[in-house]
Structure 1
């Protein structure tokens, strides 16, 4: 894990001030630091080969961040069907999808969603179609890759009306998983951005002309994206009952967004999304970065990959300071020609300027992988590891996954969920899978958790000056004594406050599990 590999020797046992989670009150107390109790490692080593107790342990284990999470894919199919029933919508039994209207031809392949609860077999068929549950290759549905990506079109008709419900579900699940911070990929107002692109043809690499043509429309596109985000958050707060005595646990999870653009459209439509996406990130502090999504192996995405990277390069100059986490290397042998495996990760870093890479599965197949890995380690380019989806989509798992290679090369990594609803999982599942597959120690898991927050795009300086040595920044280096300089520092950095909250959670967790009889 590079400079993150060595176990950090700090745990926190005293009460953390409420501001660390709420971010609104003045800091009044600083938790003390003690040596991590040896018995925590002993407890973990005792139960690591017991799947039931390991799952219990890791569900309660504090997780810093989920940085690779598509909100539309984070929702369980059962909830989508419930929303469709509430809205009076119909489902197509032939196409196995939710329609955007009430039934007009019942009995001819259409079925009211409200009646699914009385038809268990039909409901189960639709849940399987809207997710990876019980997926078995069959004629017409032969690969996990195709089934996975087909699910999004099957429930896309309800995305806009229930974006707030989706956000509420994602936040509540993160709270149950003891996740401190979510960085969700969303695309508010993207239809208008795509439409604007089709009105302004792109000529080759003349991005300057395209930018000039789009400029008059950018403010309205940004305003619509922000308004849609406002509406989503209002709906989510209402569902979660935030600010009331009945507030859900998800209210305490800090959320920021990555604006996600689609890479499978004609160049002018991709460029318009990116240009307006950069402007949205710059205008709205809720958006902390930008990504590009959709199947990387799609013929259009493959053909235009280098063009897209040059678009990012250009826009970095037009709108500097926008952080990028790019899907790159979500490919494997046989999925595309071998020529298509040679440079996507490197181009995302060197041309587009990405500071995080999503997936990065084909890294060993790129040209000169040793130098690429060395560059990633030197520049601290983090990889968002999605073990379950890499297995389901690409068939890559266990020793065939580059998780071990990244560790050996000292490239920072953090675990994430990708599309936890479609995959029928959560972040705990990813930690369990990593622990069981790669023989990770408790210190390794703790480093993965801390790395997520360290490389989150949330603003502010890090709490840590040296992960390898477990050293705080100088302002907080006098602990365990209460430090006024540390209090001031935490007030100035949202990232440091979240990291501080994570350390307090580690302290509470470690103190609890060492006294839990079920782990003895």
Structure 2
């Protein structure tokens, strides 16, 4: 896909990203970045009213959703609609979308088109494909198992509708007033896994594994890029980007993380990683890697350190690739105590992760004080997923480590994880955080900015040394809402990250100007 298409898709041209400031104020949004505002009083007025707080935080500008699995971001109803469009069957026994057409349904099957006239069957499918109304039963005993099982109920349909999924995620992000999303996707993954099985590993001889796989890497990268091209093109068509009927989602900026399944034999995990690193190096749409699937899986636990060493090796082969790793999505009910002691540390110290996804078991790590200090010093950000941690791990409220991270000075940002399966969105995460942890408006604003600050967006940050709210020297004295010349203008022209941060600050100006005058908040 050409650079012109990417610019249209992500709306990252400087004139587009900073134009919003022109109609709001003649001053730079940075001039008001830390100014006391009546919006704080407005927030305090609504914070104990869940309905008005939800309205307030829906409109609240959010920097980024950095922990977002694209397949899990989709609501079950849309999956079923696509199944109907494709003429597929659904099983009323296994409660899943089947991969075959449905001219003559077998016993226990029905056409997806017939669900519109069978609300009971549709409801049962939606419940199986999501966490809606989940209650434990002898046959479905835990939120953890129900959550991860949900993906198999719609796995047959996701490949054909990647672009539809991306369009849905972008439109929902726009509705949530999110500037940037970083969905996790896995183009060409089956081919990568098959390539791995052709080349058995000899212990931890990663150099030999890389050499054996190297002749196939180029073709795997090409396939991954072609699949991503098709996804982006389909999403642009659905959203009608570049036309007068363009959806709001067209204004959301997007980059991707390549995600790798950790629950396969070592040679298959290695092949995914090696090819995934190569995709990130070859395609600027991809800005990093992650490793996914249940961390408590027997293979994931057995090979955890081996996987971290694979990252360590490949980061030398492909220098400069960013890592955001799922680590610490565990509790003592899922694994023995020794399984809680080292995952976060190894993700940082062996693999070199710049961000940690979940990090729930941090208090069980060896030398937790030292580890937290290291994370704060190295600016390792934690992606906090409150709803999924509750649904999957039954960790919530005072048992969640969010306050611990904040007390230790570790940067944190809220994210959705799998908002479609969880039946939520990023606004729900902000409401939950505000109500549960007595967060101030300044706290929420900091987390919003932190999301963009630690996003793997190319370019220099607008903020000085990760101090969100403190501009770099080039922009400290800017007074114009749209600098046309000088060091700050040069930064905005050359750095996608700085442009998006400027856009977020402009949106804060607009929100903080209008919210105190909204009658519903009085």
TM class by smaller structure? over 0.9
2:507 to 505, 508, 511: 505
Q: How far, CA to CA, are the matches of 2:285 and 2:15 in structure 1?
A: 20
Whether the 8 Å CA contact 2:462–2:497 is kept in 1: the answer is yes
**Which residue in 1 is equivalent to 2:67?**
68
Q: How far, CA to CA, are the matches of 1:456 and 1:317 in structure 2?
A: 22
Mapping of residues 469-508 of structure 1, within 5 Å: 470-480=469-479, 484-508=486-510
Q: How far, CA to CA, are the matches of 1:141 and 1:276 in structure 2?
A: 36
**Alignment gaps of 5+ in structure 2:** 1-7
**Which residue in 2 is equivalent to 1:211?**
210
Q: What secondary structure does 1:364 align onto?
A: helix
Displacement of 1:469:
7.8
Structure 1 residues 51, 245: CA separation in 2 closer, same or farther (over 3 Å shift)? same
Q: What secondary structure does 1:161 align onto?
A: helix
Structure 1 residues 107, 100: CA separation in 2 closer, same or farther (over 3 Å shift)? closer
**Which residue in 2 is equivalent to 1:366?**
365
Worse overlay, 467-476 or 388-397: 467-476
Whether the 8 Å CA contact 1:21–1:501 is kept in 2: the answer is no
Displacement of 1:485:
1.9
Whether the 8 Å CA contact 1:328–1:360 is kept in 2: the answer is yes
**Which residue in 1 is equivalent to 2:145?**
146
**Which residue in 2 is equivalent to 1:444?**
443
**Which residue in 2 is equivalent to 1:10?**
none
Q: What secondary structure does 2:331 align onto?
A: coil
- 1:165 lines up with 2:155 in the alignment: no
Q: What secondary structure does 1:135 align onto?
A: coil
Q: How far, CA to CA, are the matches of 2:307 and 2:15 in structure 1?
A: 43
Structure 1 residues 138, 207: CA separation in 2 closer, same or farther (over 3 Å shift)? same
Q: How far, CA to CA, are the matches of 2:408 and 2:27 in structure 1?
A: 35
Q: How far, CA to CA, are the matches of 1:435 and 1:224 in structure 2?
A: 43
**Which residue in 2 is equivalent to 1:405?**
404
**Which residue in 2 is equivalent to 1:346?**
345
- What do residues 326-361 of structure 1 show as CA deviations (whole Å, max 9, x unaligned)? 000000011011111110000000000000000000
Whether the 8 Å CA contact 1:415–1:448 is kept in 2: the answer is yes
**Which residue in 2 is equivalent to 1:316?**
315
- 1:233 lines up with 2:232 in the alignment: yes
Whether the 8 Å CA contact 1:93–1:110 is kept in 2: the answer is yes
- Taking structure 1 as the reference length, the TM-score comes to 0.94
Mapping of residues 414-433 of structure 1, within 5 Å: 414-433=413-432
Q: How far, CA to CA, are the matches of 1:90 and 1:136 in structure 2?
A: 27
Whether the 8 Å CA contact 2:453–2:468 is kept in 1: the answer is no
Q: How far, CA to CA, are the matches of 1:263 and 1:257 in structure 2?
A: 19
Whether the 8 Å CA contact 1:221–1:276 is kept in 2: the answer is yes
- What do residues 20-46 of structure 1 show as CA deviations (whole Å, max 9, x unaligned)? 954164978784223634311100011
Q: How far, CA to CA, are the matches of 1:511 and 1:69 in structure 2?
A: 30
Whether the 8 Å CA contact 1:19–1:25 is kept in 2: the answer is no
**Which residue in 1 is equivalent to 2:113?**
114
Displacement of 1:263:
0.1
Displacement of 1:484:
2.4
Displacement of 1:108:
1.1
Q: How far, CA to CA, are the matches of 1:168 and 1:197 in structure 2?
A: 32
**Which residue in 1 is equivalent to 2:3?**
none
Structure 1 residues 193, 402: CA separation in 2 closer, same or farther (over 3 Å shift)? same
Worse overlay, 141-150 or 26-35: 26-35
Q: How far, CA to CA, are the matches of 1:150 and 1:91 in structure 2?
A: 16
Displacement of 1:479:
2.5
Displacement of 1:19:
13
Mapping of residues 56-135 of structure 1, within 5 Å: 56-103=55-102, 106=105, 108-135=107-134
Q: How far, CA to CA, are the matches of 2:234 and 2:105 in structure 1?
A: 32
1:516 to 510, 515, 518: 518
Displacement of 1:68:
0.3
Q: How far, CA to CA, are the matches of 2:434 and 2:325 in structure 1?
A: 26
Q: How far, CA to CA, are the matches of 1:23 and 1:65 in structure 2?
A: 18
Worse overlay, 467-476 or 38-47: 467-476
Structure 1 residues 402, 506: CA separation in 2 closer, same or farther (over 3 Å shift)? same
Whether the 8 Å CA contact 2:9–2:236 is kept in 1: the answer is no
Q: How far, CA to CA, are the matches of 2:172 and 2:426 in structure 1?
A: 9
Q: How far, CA to CA, are the matches of 2:46 and 2:444 in structure 1?
A: 14
Whether the 8 Å CA contact 1:20–1:500 is kept in 2: the answer is no
Q: How far, CA to CA, are the matches of 1:19 and 1:233 in structure 2?
A: 8
- What do residues 260-283 of structure 1 show as CA deviations (whole Å, max 9, x unaligned)? 000000000000000000000000
Mapping of residues 188-203 of structure 1, within 5 Å: 188-203=187-202
Q: What secondary structure does 1:259 align onto?
A: strand
Whether the 8 Å CA contact 1:377–1:410 is kept in 2: the answer is yes
Displacement of 1:489:
1.3
Q: What secondary structure does 1:134 align onto?
A: coil
Q: How far, CA to CA, are the matches of 1:373 and 1:467 in structure 2?
A: 17
Q: What secondary structure does 2:78 align onto?
A: helix
Worse overlay, 466-475 or 39-48: 466-475
Q: How far, CA to CA, are the matches of 2:84 and 2:249 in structure 1?
A: 25
Structure 1 residues 31, 19: CA separation in 2 closer, same or farther (over 3 Å shift)? farther
Q: What secondary structure does 1:156 align onto?
A: coil
Q: How far, CA to CA, are the matches of 1:196 and 1:288 in structure 2?
A: 23
Q: How far, CA to CA, are the matches of 1:206 and 1:469 in structure 2?
A: 42
Q: What secondary structure does 1:357 align onto?
A: strand
Whether the 8 Å CA contact 1:135–1:144 is kept in 2: the answer is yes
